[in-house]
């Protein structure tokens, strides 16, 4: 018996300091047959070599080759694999939480608790007018239905008169010049009727909100409803116009080219009150005779989404009253005296809370509310937004963050203009012009200040899009990173915070402390909070 055995240790024990290679008794030649010769020369030989290397490394610990190949640094441009930044993301989240928690404590120490359920300015007159507008605005949808009902009846009669020629019904021939002129004359009358209808709806609502509804929230809800009905009515008229033309005068092959889903409800069978009512409640601005539908309503899903809307609405109200309002009020004297450094400091301080409020509002509207509405109406297409937070430029952001509006303008403004020979720049200019006007109505009318900030903020996106467009086309990661950075900086610092400051100052100049100070020829001061 060896010494190592008698002492209870072996040469392979790391405690000895030196590890001896494992001894292996060679196999007798009689044990090796011809059938496993290749296995011995193949995998068995490799195993023996690996065993030898491992035993060698265990014995000689100080000679391991640490630097055996050329390798770049992890964050170097020469790195073959991009490292994960999950840890940095977690660090940034922790820093944001800790930093904002400090601001929460500082805010409460400085101003106290500003939340007051009874401290609101919801006047009885405003609530009554808001409810009246809510029920009055859909009446213009009923008028739009009646207009299309008359047009559908006329189309049926016109097709019956031409029923003597089979070609005019199956689309084997093109419409004559007289048929086209007659259709255009009819369409002009229908278009004028629709234009008068929706213009009266939007103009009347705008007038009532601007002159008779004081509270901005109630006015905003009424104006949003009017704009949505205006857009939906326009889509309803334009879509049925094309369907009517395809129904009366189809060119050869056009009937088969209609979207497959439209065959579920072909024109003029889609001109029903129930069809229009569904379109009114459906979470889309683009009219179709039929939509993809789900099989059933998941009420648990609906209640969860409604709960999210309620919780996020309370959160937005809390952040607005407790954090945003003091910052806005403390900015009034800076704006009045044109103290540019202080205004920039206010913008930077407001950017964080405005971004939090905007993100909460985005999730509440596009993820929670629209999904709940889609579930109740069994609306199948829930793609209300894409990953806009990864936008590599402003153009990509506007295409991704609000897809219902983007789809409307692309379908009813951009694409028709392009098909008529207009350039991409001209069509895009028209889209942003109409969108800028609607943004000004949406913000300026409820706040009773049409100062053009929302209009310019939307319209000036065009040059910024032109600047960031080359970055979207670059395939390098640095170009995408730069484009995304420009988007976030322009969006979080110079976009919403500046607009919020301007409209809040205009509101205070008209109704608040600024107007009182100006009437007394005194510099405006921050109200006591």
Active site residues: 439
Task: Quote the crossing angle between the two packed helices 477-492 and 496-511, to the nearest 10°.
Answer: 10
The helix/strand/coil state of 91 is helix
Answer for the pair 525, 513: CB distance below 8 angstroms, yes or no.
Answer: yes
Cα atoms in the 13 Å half-sphere on the side-chain side of 520: 9
Q: What's the helix, strand, coil split of the chain in %, to 5?
A: 70, 0, 30
The helix/strand/coil state of 389 is helix
What does residue 184 show for φ and ψ, rounded to 5 degrees? -65, -40
DSSP secondary structure string for all residues of 321-351: IIIIHHHHHTTHHHHHTT-HHHHHHHHHHHH
The helix/strand/coil state of 285 is coil
The helix/strand/coil state of 9 is coil
Count CB atoms within 10 A of the CB of residue 337: 12
- Separation of alpha carbons 501 and 497, rounded Å: 6
Alpha helices in 249-281 (DSSP H): 254-257, 273-281
Count CB atoms within 10 A of the CB of residue 131: 12
The helix/strand/coil state of 293 is strand
- Separation of alpha carbons 324 and 347, rounded Å: 11
Q: How far is CA 313 from CA 219, 310, 365, in A?
A: 17, 5, 10
- Separation of alpha carbons 389 and 392, rounded Å: 9
- Separation of alpha carbons 70 and 352, rounded Å: 45
- Separation of alpha carbons 271 and 244, rounded Å: 11
- Separation of alpha carbons 120 and 511, rounded Å: 15
DSSP secondary structure string for all residues of 422-485: --HHHHHHHHHHHHHHHHHHHHHTTTT---SHHHHHHHTHHHHHHHHHHHHH--SHHHHHHHHH
Count CB atoms within 10 A of the CB of residue 335: 22
Task: Work out the widest C-alpha separation in the chain, in whole angstroms.
Answer: 117
């Amino acid at each position: 018996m060896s010494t190592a055995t008698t002492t209870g240790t072996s040469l392979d024990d790391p405690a000895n300091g030196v590890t001896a290679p494992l001894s292996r008794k060679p196999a007798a030649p009689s044990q090796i047959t011809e059938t496993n010769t290749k296995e011995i020369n193949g995998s068995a030989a490799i195993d023996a070599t690996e065993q030898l290397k491992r035993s060698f490394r265990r014995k000689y610990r100080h000679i391991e080759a640490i630097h055996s190949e050329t390798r770049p640094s992890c964050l170097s441009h020469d790195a073959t694999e991009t490292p994960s930044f999950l840890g940095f993301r977690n660090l940034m989240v922790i820093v944001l939480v800790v930093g904002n928690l400090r601001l929460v404590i500082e805010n409460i120490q400085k101003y106290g608790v500003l939340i007051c359920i009874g401290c609101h300015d919801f006047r009885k007159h405003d609530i009554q007018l808001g409810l009246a507008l809510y029920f009055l605005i859909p009446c213009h949808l009923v008028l739009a239905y009646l207009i299309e009902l008359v047009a559908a009846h006329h189309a049926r009669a016109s097709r019956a008169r031409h029923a003597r020629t089979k070609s005019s019904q199956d689309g084997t021939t093109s419409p004559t010049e007289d048929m086209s002129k007659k259709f255009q004359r009819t369409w002009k009358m229908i278009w004028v009727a629709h234009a008068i209808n929706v213009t009266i709806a939007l103009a009347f609502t705008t007038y009532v909100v601007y002159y008779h509804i004081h509270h901005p929230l109630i006015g905003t809800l009424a104006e949003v409803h009017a704009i949505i009905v205006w857009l939906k009515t326009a889509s309803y008229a334009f879509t049925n116009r094309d369907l009517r033309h395809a129904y009366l005068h189809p060119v050869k092959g056009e009937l088969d080219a209609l979207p497959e889903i439209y065959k579920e409800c072909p024109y003029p069978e889609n001109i029903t009150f129930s069809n229009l009512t569904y379109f009114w409640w459906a979470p889309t601005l683009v009219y179709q005779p039929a939509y993809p539908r789900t099989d059933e309503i998941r009420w648990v899903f609906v209640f969860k989404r409604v709960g999210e809307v309620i919780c996020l609405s309370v959160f937005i109200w809390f952040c607005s009253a407790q954090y945003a309002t003091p910052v806005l009020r403390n900015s009034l004297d800076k704006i009045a005296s044109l103290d540019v450094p202080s205004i920039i400091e206010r913008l930077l301080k407001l950017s964080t809370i405005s971004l939090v409020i905007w993100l909460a509002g985005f999730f509440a509207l596009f993820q929670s509310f629209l999904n709940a509405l889609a579930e109740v109406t069994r609306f199948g297409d829930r793609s209300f937004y894409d990953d806009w937070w990864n936008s590599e430029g402003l153009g990509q952001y506007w295409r991704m963050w609000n897809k219902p509006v983007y789809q409307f303008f692309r379908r009813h403004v951009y694409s028709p203009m392009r098909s008529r020979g207009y350039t991409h720049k001209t069509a895009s200019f028209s889209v942003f012009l109409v969108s800028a006007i609607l943004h000004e109505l949406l913000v300026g009318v409820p706040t009773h200040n049409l100062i053009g900030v929302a209009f310019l903020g939307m319209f000036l996106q065009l040059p910024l899009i032109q600047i960031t467009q080359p970055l979207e086309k670059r395939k390098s990661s640095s170009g995408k990173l730069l484009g995304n950075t420009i988007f976030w900086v322009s969006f979080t610092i110079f976009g919403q915070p500046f607009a919020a400051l301007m409209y809040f100052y205009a509101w205070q100049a008209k109704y608040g402390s600024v107007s009182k100070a100006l009437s007394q020829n005194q510099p405006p001061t921050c109200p006591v909070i």
